[in-house]
Amino acid sequence: MSTLQFLADGFAVAFQWQNLLFAFVGVIIGTAVGVLPGIGPMSGVALLIPVTATLTSGLPTEAAAASSIILLAGVYYGAMYGGSTTSILLNTPGESSSVVTTLDGYQMAKQGRAGSALSIAAIGSFCAGIIALLGLVLLAKPLSSVALKFGPAEYFSLMLLGLAAVSGLAGRSITKALIMTVLGLMLGTVGIDAVSGIERFTFGQPMLFSGIEFLTIAVGLFALGEVFKTILEKSDDDGQIAKINRILPTKQDLKDSAVPIARGSFLGFFIGVLPGAGATLASFFSYITEKKFSKTPEKFGKGHIAGVAGPESANNAASGGAMIPLLTLGIPGSGTTAILMGALIMYNIQPGPLLFDEHPEVAWGLIASMFIGNLMLLVLNMPLVRIFAKVIETPKKYLLPIIIAISFFGVYAVQYTTFDLYLLLACGLLGYLFAKNDYPVAPLVLALVLGPMIENNMRRALTISNGDFSIFMTKPLSLLFLIVAVSWLLIPLFMKMRGKNVIINEEE
């Protein structure tokens, strides 16, 4: 079957009424998540996994997986839309990926052009989403057929590359990022070994036999960590919300932002495909590029529409691009995609090159639903922007205890043990302490998801080579991946030594 045929089938899945509903709910919640400062796309997606698991419990596995991944992906790219709203209206970014949007967006709002800024952000996000999806459609088949030729050695090295990329860009100190990665891998070894059936690090506790649930760790580290931070550190962000006058952008605004949107979309897409570099980096790069290409660079920072259009398109395109390594190679490139992958694995669906053959319904259904979701976001965001602006005013006193209650409910509903709830609280505390002291938590979650697969592929490769570790060096592709992985870690170190500033990805 051709790609077009598959895509048509995907639309057939996406247009089922329950999937339309799931996409709709996903993007609405995503936008809210993006708008609310206390909660990012990662915690939003993590919190919703158990909820979707129960909602879809009546469906057959494959359909359930398709529906819930449609909802979760909707939250992911919906958050990218919503993040811009607070940046523009309040000067406080809802997500790290819309930090740069504050530079020009808030200035525009001050000049009474909040409506134009918001709608340009929405239009830019929409175009970027569509461009990223076209890229996904075009690249999915060829990439997954290449990946099918990979043996265990290549997979092992490729996953190491993924981990190295995320750790290398994750925080101020590579050592700390690597420590978090190793901790994640260690947590992944707890439980009964899949190959030999021997229990490891369980200390005879039956709770640990099935391993440490990634959901508990992710919700704890991100959602609870964030909540604890907001409770502990009172911030005075009760800024004035700017008024929205007219919603539609002027013709001049549209003309000024057309090129930045196109440039931002392509740039963001390619940055998103790279592992480790996510939406935050994409939006920064786009802002710098726009400033460089602009005829009037002095206008940036004073309410230039290109400073909103470029970065906002870039961060949305990056979130679409990030789906490519996840779906075709089975390797998440960022924290949020790692959580999406964990969700798919919960449904016993392994993302990777075989996904397109074994579960075309899930893969193409997701791709098609992203088209629809992006359209919904555009249609929703233009008229409803005022309502979403109201969401910002949700008082924290209600929000924070409810987030705690939702995360408890979510984890308990999936795990049925209070052990996981205690673990959740402990992870929340750790998540707060880690984040406060510059220990990035995203690599830990990524490593926890990838850990068992890395180990299995390593052992498979070593079984083939009879225990000879040189198999990872003698296979050309594997060697290439390893070299890239090492240089990903070393190049930033060298650049730091030479006193250069390294852009880091402080993405959740």
Counting contacts by CB under 8 A, is residue 439 touching other proteins? Answer: yes
Residue number with CB closer to other proteins (183 or 377):
183
* Comparison of 327 and 435: residue with beta carbon closer to other proteins: 435
Nearest-angstrom CA–CA distance, 265 and 287:
12
SS3 200: strand
φ and ψ of 36, to 5 deg: -70, 125
Which residue in the set 8, 248, 405, 483 belongs to the binding site for other proteins (CB under 8 A)?
A: 405
Residue 495, Cβ neighbours under 10 Å: how many? 12
30-38, 281-289, 311-319, 419-427 -> range binding other proteins (CB under 8 A):
419-427
Q: Contact with other proteins (CB under 8 A): which of 12, 262, 345, 429? A: 429
In this complex, which beta carbon is closest to other proteins, that of residue 141 or of residue 460? 460
Q: What is the 3-state secondary structure (H, E, C) of 319-346?
A: HHHCHHHHHHHCCCCCHHHHHHHHHHHH
Interatomic CA distance for residues 416 and 332, integer angstroms: 28
Question: End-to-end CA distance of the chain, in Å?
Answer: 38
437 binds other proteins (CB under 8 A): yes
Query: Tokens for 337?
Result: 């995609």
Complex with other proteins: residue 70 or 163, whichever CB lies closer: 163
Interface with other proteins, residue 421, by CB under 8 A:
yes
**How large is the C-alpha radius of gyration of the chain?**
22
Among 20, 139, 179, 247, binds other proteins (CB under 8 A): 179
CB of 489 to other proteins, least distance (A): 12
Shortest reach from residue 437's CB to other proteins, in Å: 5
CA distances from 410 to 48, 331, 348, 452, 505 (A): 8, 25, 19, 24, 29
Is residue 470 part of the contact set for other proteins (CB under 8 A)? no
- The least distance separating other proteins from the CB of residue 485, rounded to whole angstroms, comes to 14
Question: Are the C-beta atoms of 485 and 160 separated by less than 8 Å?
Answer: yes
Options 59, 134, 186, 262; binder of other proteins; rule CB under 8 A: 186
Among 3, 16, 173, 350, binds other proteins (CB under 8 A): 173
C-beta pairs of 284-289 under 8 Å, 24+ apart in sequence:
284/99, 284/100, 284/311, 284/503, 285/314, 286/100, 286/260, 286/310, 286/311, 286/313, 286/314, 287/100, 287/103, 287/311, 289/263, 289/264
Q: Is 209 in the site for other proteins (CB under 8 A)?
A: no
75 contacts 376 by C-beta, under 8 angstroms: no
Site string for other proteins, 29-68 (x = CB under 8 A): -------------------------xx-x-----------
For other proteins, the closer CB: 405 or 503: 405
Task: Evaluate whether 368 touches 22 at the Cβ level (below 8 Å).
Answer: no
User: Is residue 497 part of the contact set for other proteins (CB under 8 A)?
Assistant: no
Exactly one of 1, 4, 198, 497 binds other proteins (CB under 8 A); which one?
198
Whichever of 100 and 183 has its CB closer to other proteins, that residue is: 183
Query: Which residues sit at the interface with other proteins, rule CB under 8 A?
Result: 54-55, 57, 173, 175-176, 178-179, 182-183, 185-186, 189, 193, 195-198, 200-201, 228, 231-235, 395-398, 400-402, 404-405, 408-409, 412-413, 416, 418, 421-422, 425, 429, 433, 437-439, 454-455, 458-459, 462-463, 466-467
